[in-house]
Amino acid sequence: MSETVVAPTPAPAPYTPPPASTTDGWRANWKSHLFTGFVYLLAIAAALGISALIVSLTGGSPHKVFTALYDGSIKTWASVGNTLDYAAPLLIVAVGTIVAVRAGFFNIGQEGQVTIGAMCTAIVALKVHPAGWAVLVLALLAGAVGGALWAGICALLRFWRGVDVVISSLLLIFVAGQILSYALSSQDLLQEHGTGDAILTESDQLSGRVQLPRVGEYPHLNYSSGLFVALGLTIVIAIFMTRTKWGFRIRMLGMNPVAAKRAGVRAAMLGSLAIMISGATAGLAGGVELTGQAYRITPTISNNIGWNGLLVALVARNNAWAAIGVALLFGALQAGGGFLSVTGVPIDLVNIVIALVVVAVVFPPALTEFRKYRRARAQASAAAADVPAEAVAA
């Protein structure tokens, strides 16, 4: 008795969309870029309009406010120098943050790391003698090491006990503030050596020999040489992340931790390195702020440098080169904020404007990602509709 052999039914070919021509792709990209640019302009205009509305509601004049921001940021060479002074530490914090984020770890404790870095810088600058350029370099290195070790606590908690870096780095901000308060209340550490009964909660002023030199003279262009530290560090980080084996592994770890581990990347070691680099740059920013502008440490030495540096990295979309322009924008807003007192508007308005600008700049990429998601869903639906019902049942 012969058996009948039934040939298997061939599986349906997978859905493949028709190939798009080069011209169609160019047109689509051109339209996409044009739409994104339009959304950017619209979002920034909306941010400035909301800022003007808030000023009006507080009884101020939007024209006077924006004129004051312009006068304090870029009107004169002296104003430009102030902008550069404010931008330098923000850029230093931002480029370190970019390393951690590219590795997949969100360190948001830069404010505390700036505090610890400034405190370590002050201890070395005030306690090591004789003062000179070697002590200045040693003090800045101490600030970077202090910030790195403070961020290292977050790395230790993450890989030893599984504590999320966001939580640990945020909580350590408050611990850093308490440590600085103790140091400023101890004569053996940083408390000011006053000659009278009134002793302020601040340190002695740094000697001129451990201050970062300034370029130019007032009222001409005059800025701290900390700007060169920021630009040099940006170049180093950008090359490190894009042209070195370690930078490639860090980016691999952030994009796909599972694939990175299978490729031989040691997540604990490399992740800890990325987190500590972000802490080191924040600590260095605290040292630059202390030796380049403040010259004495106070409980508010961080002055939102950590928070604003984090926002610079966010707005720059984790691009070290783009962070330069964003840091200059934020520096201009902060420098111009010093002129708001003549308008009768609270200086806190600058923080509101910064927040609105951040939302305005982050909104277009978010909208672009949402449009890509909807387009992918539509293509998936179209592909499913072309598959025969018999194949789906099988």
The secondary element (H helix, E strand) that includes residue 339 is none
Q: Name 363's Cβ contacts closer than 8 Å, sequence gap at least 6.
A: 39, 43
392 — pLDDT class (breaks 50, 70, 90): very low
**Mean pLDDT across the stretch 30-46?**
74
What pLDDT digit, counting tens, does each position of 322-339 carry?
A: 999 989 988 988 888 877
Tokens of 58: 């507080």
Of 175 and 201, the structure prediction assigns the larger pLDDT to 175
Of 388 and 125, the structure prediction assigns the larger pLDDT to 125
Amino acid at 117: G
Per the CB < 8 A criterion, the answer to whether 119 and 183 are in contact is: yes
What pLDDT digit, counting tens, does each position of 133-180 carry?
A: 999 999 999 999 999 999 999 999 999 999 999 999 999 999 999 999
Phi-psi region of 216 (alpha: psi -120 to 50; beta: other; left: phi over 0): left
User: How does the average pLDDT of the chain come out, rounded?
Assistant: 84
Of 55 and 296, the structure prediction assigns the larger pLDDT to 296
What pLDDT digit, counting tens, does each position of 225-234 carry?
A: 999 999 999 9
Selection from 180, 207, 176 nearest residue 191 by Cα = 180
Amino acid at 263: A
Q: Is the peptide bond before 130 cis (omega within 30 degrees of 0)?
A: yes
CA 82 to chain centre: 20
Q: Is the overall model pTM greater than 0.85, yes or no?
A: no
63 — pLDDT class (breaks 50, 70, 90): confident
Phi-psi region of 318 (alpha: psi -120 to 50; beta: other; left: phi over 0): left
Whether the per-residue pLDDT at 109 is higher than 70: the answer is: yes
**DSSP letters for 140-208:** HHHHHHHHHHHHHHHHHHHHHH---HHHHHHHHHHHHHHHHHHHHT-TTTT----SSS---SSPPPPPG
Tokens of 155: 């790395």
22 — pLDDT class (breaks 50, 70, 90): very low
Whether the per-residue pLDDT at 273 is higher than 90: the answer is: yes
**DSSP letters for 286-310:** HHHHIIIII-S--TTTTTTHHHHHH
53 — pLDDT class (breaks 50, 70, 90): confident
269 — pLDDT class (breaks 50, 70, 90): very high
